[in-house]
Amino acid sequence: MSTPHRPVDQPVDHPVVQTDRGPVRGTGSDAGLRFLGIPYAKAPVGALRFAAPEPAEPWTEPLDATAYGPTAQRRAFAEVTIIPEPTVPGAGILNLNVFTPAADPSAGLPVLVWIHGGGYVAGSSASPWYDGAAFNRDGVVLVSIGYRLGIEGFLHLEDAPDNRGVLDWIAALGWVRDNIAAFGGDPAKVTVAGQSAGGGAVQTLLATPAAKGLFRAAISVSGAVMQPQDAAAGRAVAERFTARTGLPATAQALRDRSDEELLDFQGALSAPGPDGPAPMLMLAPFADGELVPEPVMDALTSGDAGGEIPLMLGFTEHEFNALPFPDAPEEALLGLLASLGLDPSASAGFLAAHPSLTTPQRMGQAITDATFRAPALAIAESRAARLRPTWLYEFTWTSQAPAFAGAAFHCLDLPFAFDLLSAEGATDATGANPPQALADAVHSAWVRFIHSLDPGADWPRYTAADRATRVWDTPPRTDPDHLAPVRAVWLREH
């Protein structure tokens, strides 16, 4: 997609932009300008390790913003995700990256703020899959942010604020509000977006009153939140932490521990043990009753969270089907379905909906449905009933890569949304010769939504009347009530 706001030739290889903390020096090319590793808060070390983020100290000389800053991810997690996610050492992990067509304060371009995924314990804003070149080409300023992960970001501690990672997202959005105009963006035209944990972050921000007014639209890609998510669930994780490590869940006990020690504690927390298997997304946002007043799904489906903010949300068809579930008897599958809340009738409906899948694939599909598809569908249904602007999609194009052939798996849609099919590692996910026409369609819909709060006439709103769902395949199409089988099984609706 092209717009009148195309990048202009930049005569300065290292442009300097003034922020409210001090000047930053980036790099420029025909693809746009990039300013990397800008601190939006002080390094969370010492007394600040488990504290709310504080504004960065001001500086006077231009800050070098030509390389990605430190990441909260401290180990490579290649076995968890196909996305290249670099680990950059250093203390100043509360930093962000700005990609812009031109640092012209009069440009007033819309802004996309991207929150990376990684299960709230991993991931990196320095991924080549999050490069902003294609969005810059189409007149959008892209900001990608880093935030505290795992124990530092989300473990309930008796002597520290809860949901520190959420506080980091809000601080980064505050930086965008105060500074993005200098980079050519309009602070009144911010869309917040993310995938997986990042998609859950978007949902959480919609349900967090302190984030109100910091963005005008939202995109939740394969969003996942902790379930259950009440304050008791957060405290239970802290109790499990103490039982597993022998340490009190306090900032005082953990503040001086090394990164490696915290990661080891994290591993102990998630390891199977006599107290049962580890719940999914233990170290994640939870309803603390203050910053996050109530569970996010409750807030979005039965509360007033999100209001009239336009929301685009969806998922891939087979998010977790590619996981190596062991072969197992059907009784094990039925036990899994029961643990996910399906009664015998609904379980029978689930099995009937997937007659060609193996038992391991059905187990993956059950996790996919319970974690991603059904919650997003429930959000869309609730918003549609209240006439709130909502667009729902399912990405069904299947990978041609040998390791993932035949699956529309978790993360596969990102190189299409960012129009980065040639990025490092992309063909490992897609296979050779992925369809550029599909990337054009997905990316253009995102750009239209970011610019005009509507992805286009070929993708109508999700309403109670027809439940129009955009199906990203070759060719793309819009189907009425495309997800009726999911609705019937998981939401008990026909």
Residues in the chain: 494
Closest CA to 127 of 161, 78, 189: 78
356: left (phi over 0), alpha (psi -120 to 50) or beta: alpha
305 CB burial (10 A radius; 0-12, 13-18, 19+) = buried
**Which tokens in the block code for residue 285?**
């946002």
433: left (phi over 0), alpha (psi -120 to 50) or beta: left
Looking at 125, 144, 196, 220, which residue is catalytic?
Answer: 196
SS3 395: strand
At CA 321, angle to CA 420 and CA 440, rounded to 5? 25
Other C-beta atoms closer than 10 Å to the C-beta of 132 total 25
The Cα 286–Cα 226 span in angstroms is 7
SS3 37: strand
- The residues, any chain, with a CB within 8 Å of residue 31's CB and separated by 6 or more, are 7, 133, 136, 137
Angle between helices 344-353 and 330-339 (to 10 degrees): 120
494 flagged as catalytic? no
Sheet strands (E) in 12-146: 16-18, 23-25, 27-29, 32-39, 63-64, 95-100, 109-115, 141-145
Phi, psi of 452 (to 5 degrees): -125, 5
453: left (phi over 0), alpha (psi -120 to 50) or beta: left
The Cα 476–Cα 125 span in angstroms is 29
Looking at 5, 318, 410, 443, which residue is catalytic?
Answer: 410
User: Residue with structure tokens 């810059």?
Assistant: 136
Contact 341, 370 (CB under 8 A): yes
| Strand pairing report for 109-115 and 141-145 | parallel
**Which tokens in the block code for residue 95?**
């930093």
Residue by residue, DSSP assigns 137-164 as HTT-EEEEE----HHHHH---TTS-S-H
The Cα 210–Cα 249 span in angstroms is 26
Looking at 317, 319, 381, 394, which residue is catalytic?
Answer: 319
Q: Which residues pair with 314 in a beta bridge?
A: 221, 393
The Cα 38–Cα 92 span in angstroms is 9
410 flagged as catalytic? yes
Q: What are the catalytic residues?
A: 196, 319, 410
